[in-house]
Structures are given as structure tokens and as C-alpha cells.
Amino acid sequence: MGGRINNWSDVPSADEYHYASSPEHRNADYFADAFGRMGLQDSGASSSSQPSYYLTSGSPVVEIDQAEFRERVRSFHGDEINHIANNPQEYSEFVSERARRTADVASSFAIRRDSDAARYYSYQLGNRSVGLQRTEAGFPMATEFTSQRWREQFPGRTDVTSIVDFQVAHPLVGNAGDILLEHQLRQDGERPLVNWRPANDEARARAEQMGFVDVDHNDMVLDPTQSRQWRYRDGEWQRATNSPMYLSKVKTPSDDEPSPESDSDGDFM
């Protein structure tokens, strides 16, 4: 349970960039304009071409393999993120601070060997990854938590269903963490109980807003049935306060990312 979690989508702000990424704003043209000004629009896109961004009911989260995950994590402390972090006059201090936390979490991710149960997910905008999440299998709470408060917090439950071991999000896509978490709740079925270890105070504050409660030292757990932030509808978990639509992007050749190099030794980075 030694994972590091990014700042997630942060405490809400009126900042333009966080506002632009909010799913409540349903006009795809607005998204295209906002993301274009933030540098995520295709360089070759024009007002006469097909809109790059649109809204869809299909989840943008896909499962990827370990090698691809490792390769993509590097981009979250690469040139683009560092440029955002170092240019608050261009992106705002709020967004630049998010970028600094993103780079810190991604670059300090421990060299470790994943278990066979680890699974890897990417939030895709076209071929671009704007959020990554690694999960591990759940565990019996009686053997892993030193505190016994979980017995009262989750009566009748004995096991955590999964661990969100690592999560990192692009600083310009404010709801990426929420969507990745939603995906994990769906993976865990009708009665999920998800373990989370926040990497910083901002991540902790956001986790509390999304329904996580403290169970043990630096261990938080979410039971979505106890939170108004989540609802179970049509056989799957959904974010209760947000639109069920997701921002998506037409795939273009300019989106292509480098193919991950083979890495079979099991040690991250």
C-alpha cells in the first residue's frame, strides 16, 4: 500500500483552466476553443475543419500494459509539464502549481516491482494520455490496518476491494482524477471499497470531498454507498454531481505518442 497519489482534480477554483475542464460545460466548441488556448488543440486544426473535441457517453479510460504505463508516466514530468510549471504568467499560478505537484509525484514514483495483480489505466484524449492510474488487488482490513475504526465505518465489510496505488493527472485536465476513480469503482462492482493513500494535502482535501474517510495513518477508504458524490445507476457507478458525458477527442496523426520501449525487468523507470 505504498502508492503515491497526485493532487487529483484539486479543490475547486474559479481559474479559467479548471473551469474549462469541468464536465458541466457541455458545448464541444467551447471545449475546443478552451483547450486550443491551453495548447492541447491540434496545431493543424482550423475553424473550418471537423471539431477535435466532442462530448460522448463512453468512458475515456482504457487499460494499458505495464511497459506503456511506465513510458507514459515519464511524460508527466517531462518538457510539457515543466513548461507549464515554469510559466505561471502564461497558464496562471494555480495551474503552474498543479503542474509542479504533477511533476513531483511522477518523478518521485518509487522504483519498485509491481505485483502480478497490478493493473494500469490511461485517460485518453485522442492518442494523448491526460491521466494515469495504477491499481492493486484489495486486502483484508483486519490484517493491514492497525486501527480498528473500519469495523464501525464499514459494518459488515471485511475486505478492501482494490487499492488506487498511483494516480497522476495533466494539470490542464482538472477532472481526470475523478474520472479515473469512477472507472475503478465500476471495476469493483456493486459494492466497492477502495483504498487510497494521498501524496499531499491537496490530494487529501479532494479525496475527502469525493467521499473518502480516514481509516488508518495515511490510509483513506471510499465506500460510495455512504457518499452523496456517487450514485449507482444502470448497473454502474457514476459521479453524482457531474454530467454523465465525457470529453473526447478525434484521433489525429499529430496525437501519436512514442511507442514504449520494452522493459521486462519489473523495476519502474
> Which CATH number does the domain housing residue 215 bear?
3.40.630
Position 251 scores a pLDDT of 72
The more confidently predicted of residues 194 and 31 is 194
What average pLDDT does range 193-219 have in this prediction? Answer: 91
In a domain, 99, yes or no: no
- Candidates 209, 217, 225, 233; CA nearest to 157 is 225
Worst-scoring range by mean pLDDT, 40-44, 54-58, 163-167, 254-258?
A: 254-258
What average pLDDT does range 229-252 have in this prediction? Answer: 85
Domain limits for position 67: 4-76+113-253
What is the secondary structure of 246-259 as a DSSP string?
EEEE---GGGPPPP
Q: What is the value of pTM for the model shown?
A: 0.80
3-state secondary structure of 247: strand
Cell of 219: 490510509
In a domain, 102, yes or no: no
DSSP state of 256: P
In a domain, 91, yes or no: no
What average pLDDT does range 35-54 have in this prediction? Answer: 56
For residue 29, what is the enclosing H or E element?
A: helix 28-37
Position 22 scores a pLDDT of 47
What average pLDDT does range 228-247 have in this prediction? Answer: 88
- The amino acid sitting at 51 is P
Most confidently modeled range among 11-20, 27-36, 254-263: 27-36
In a domain, 185, yes or no: yes
| Number of folded domains that form the chain | 1
In a domain, 55, yes or no: yes
What average pLDDT does range 150-174 have in this prediction? Answer: 94
Position 15 scores a pLDDT of 36
Percentage of the chain lying above the pLDDT 70 cut: 72
In a domain, 177, yes or no: yes
Percentage of the chain lying above the pLDDT 90 cut: 55
